[in-house]
Amino acid sequence: MADHTLLFYLLHLSAFTN
């Protein structure tokens, strides 16, 4: 489940940065 959380976090971070 940690993987899923990490992916979600990365996605949000990328979207925020973009």
Query: In terms of residues, how long is the chain?
Result: 18
Task: Round to whole Å and give the CA distance between 13 and 15.
Answer: 5
Residues 10, 13, 14, 18: what is their CA dihedral angle, to the nearest 10 degrees?
180
Helix (H), strand (E), coil (C) string for the chain: CHHHHHHHHHHHHHHHHC
For range 1-18, the mean pLDDT = 85
Task: Give yes or no for residue 17 having a pLDDT over 80.
Answer: no
Which band of pLDDT confidence, cut at 50, 70 and 90, is reported for residue 1? low
Task: Round to whole Å and give the CA distance between 16 and 2.
Answer: 21
